[in-house]
Chain A
Amino acid sequence: MDFFLALSTQAKVAVVASLLVFAASIYYLFFSSADKKKKAHTSTSKPAPTKPKEQAPKKDEEKRQEKESPSSSAGGSPRAGLGKPHGLSDEEVDEVFAHFSQVDSVGSGMVDEDEFREVIDLALGNYPFLEDLENYYMR
């Protein structure tokens, strides 16, 4: 201590400065190595959380395909559900469509008045309820 006090002011400043530099270098060495270890640790552990992220979209896609597949594979009549608002079954709708398309020979998807009459004519022999049409006229 006496030795330090005996030094000139410039020497004291130089000693203090060198001590600070030494302390700073120690500090830097210690913490920089700790950071490197941390970075190394995080860089090795990072790929692990990315795997589930990559798998997540796949699961979503699989779910979407599962949802889509039943409707696409079900197929069925293109007129399925068309008779629901009228309380008609799909089978009945198909039966009516058979008569409709028989008269609509052009395949326009439309029938005019004469064709409508033909459909009714065809239907009379096939739809039991239309046998009451005569009684309907007599009312």
Chain B
Amino acid sequence: MNVGDKATEKQLDGWVPREFSAADSDGGGALSFTDFLGAYAKLKKRLK
């Protein structure tokens, strides 16, 4: 798993649900590509 090299599974376990719920605009439990793109862009801005 690539993630293991950069971040631990535990770290991702905490991060993924938080980011996912933030990106899930309608709270439907699934992200459309538009939602995903928004999350991607926000993450990119934050990490730059």
Contact = CB atoms under 8 A, between A and B. Distances in A.
Interface string A4-28: 0000000000000000000000000
Nearest to B31: A111
B44 A129 contact: yes
B33 to A, nearest CB: 5
A29 to B, nearest CB: 84
Contact-residue bracket for chain B? 20 to 34
Interface in A94-139: 96-97, 100, 108-113, 116-117, 119-125, 127, 129-134, 136-137
A83 B41 contact: yes
Interface residues of A, number: 34
Given A86-B41, A86-B42, A87-B41, 13 more contacts: A88-B41, A93-B37, A100-B36, A111-B30, A111-B36, A113-B16, A120-B16, A123-B40, A127-B44, A129-B44, A129-B48, A136-B46, A137-B7
